[in-house]
C-alpha cells in the first residue's frame, strides 16, 4: 500500500492523530490536500511561527491569521472549535510533546477522544519521532518516503536525473580546478 492510500484509509476510518515521520513537509501537505479535496474537507496548517492558517496560503496572507494560535494549546482549542470537516497539519510539533509540556500532552489525549466522533484529523509532521507514553495508544505513526520511488511518472524521473547531474557537476568542477 502506498503512502497516499494508507493515510487516506486512516482519515476515512476516523483515526484522530496521525504522526508522519519525514522532513518532506510540503510533499506530505500536497498529499493531504489532495485527499481533503476528494473528501470535501478543509485543510489547515500550524507552525510555531505562523499559528493556524489555511493550508497553502502565502506568507503575506498570514497577516490575517489569529496570532493566539501560535500557542500550541490555543491551536488545539481551534481544532475543537472547527465545526466543518477538516484536516489539521501540525509542523514540527515534537518539541511540545515532552514531559515538560504536560498540558499539551493532556489536551492532545482529550482531543483524540473528541475527534473520533467527528470528521477532523490532526496530522503531526516531524523529522523526529517523539511520542510521550500517554499518547502511544492514541497516535498512529507513518513513515513517509524521503526519496522518489518507482511509481513516479517517467517525465519526472528525467527531471530528477538532471538535478542529480547538476549537483554532481557543482561538486566535481571545483575539485577539478585544484
Can you tell me whether residue 54 is helix, strand or coil? strand
CB 74 within 8 A of CB 68: yes
Sheet containing 139-143: order of strands: 51-54, 42-47, 86-91, 120-126, 17-21, 139-143
Taking the whole predicted model, whether its pTM rises above 0.85 is answered as no
Give how far Cα 115 sits from Cα of 23, 49, 122, 166, Å. Answer: 26, 25, 9, 46
H-type alpha helices, 14-153:
25-39, 72-81, 102-115
Q: Which CATH number fits domain 3-147: 3.90.45.10, 3.40.50.300, 3.40.50.800, 3.40.50.740?
A: 3.40.50.300
Question: Distance between CA 121 and CA 16 in Å, rounded?
Answer: 5
Question: In the prediction, which pLDDT does 125 show?
Answer: 97
pLDDT in tens for each of the 178 residues of the chain? 799 999 999 999 999 999 999 989 999 999 999 999 999 999 999 999 899 999 987 665 555 567 788 999 999 999 999 999 999 999 999 999 988 899 999 999 999 999 988 999 999 999 999 999 999 999 999 998 865 554 555 555 555 555 555 666 666 666 555 5
Dihedral sign of CA atoms 116, 47, 67, 41 in order? negative
Question: Distance between CA 85 and CA 159 in Å, rounded?
Answer: 37
CA angle 130, 12, 76 (to 5 degrees): 45
Which DSSP state fits 61?
A: G
Amino acid at each position: 500500500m502506498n503512502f497516499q492510500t494508507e493515510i487516506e484509509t486512516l482519515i476515512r476510518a476516523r483515526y484522530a492523530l496521525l504522526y508522519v515521520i519525514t522532513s518532506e513537509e510540503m510533499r506530505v501537505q500536497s498529499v493531504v490536500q489532495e485527499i481533503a479535496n476528494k473528501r470535501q474537507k478543509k485543510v489547515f496548517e500550524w507552525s510555531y511561527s505562523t499559528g493556524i492558517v489555511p493550508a497553502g496560503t502565502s506568507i503575506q496572507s498570514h497577516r490575517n491569521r489569529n496570532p493566539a494560535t501560535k500557542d500550541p494549546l490555543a491551536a488545539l482549542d481551534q481544532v475543537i472549535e472547527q465545526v466543518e470537516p477538516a484536516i489539521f497539519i501540525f509542523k514540527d510539533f515534537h518539541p511540545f510533546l515532552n514531559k515538560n509540556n504536560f498540558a499539551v500532552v493532556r489536551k492532545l489525549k482529550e482531543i483524540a477522544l473528541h475527534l473520533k466522533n467527528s470528521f477532523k484529523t490532526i496530522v503531526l509532521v516531524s523529522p523526529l519521532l517523539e511520542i510521550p507514553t500517554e499518547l502511544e495508544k492514541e497516535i498512529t505513526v507513518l513513515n513517509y518516503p524521503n526519496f522518489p520511488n518507482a511509481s513516479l511518472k517517467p517525465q519526472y524521473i528525467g527531471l530528477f536525473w538532471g538535478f542529480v547531474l547538476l549537483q554532481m557537476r557543482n561538486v566535481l568542477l571545483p575539485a577539478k580546478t585544484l
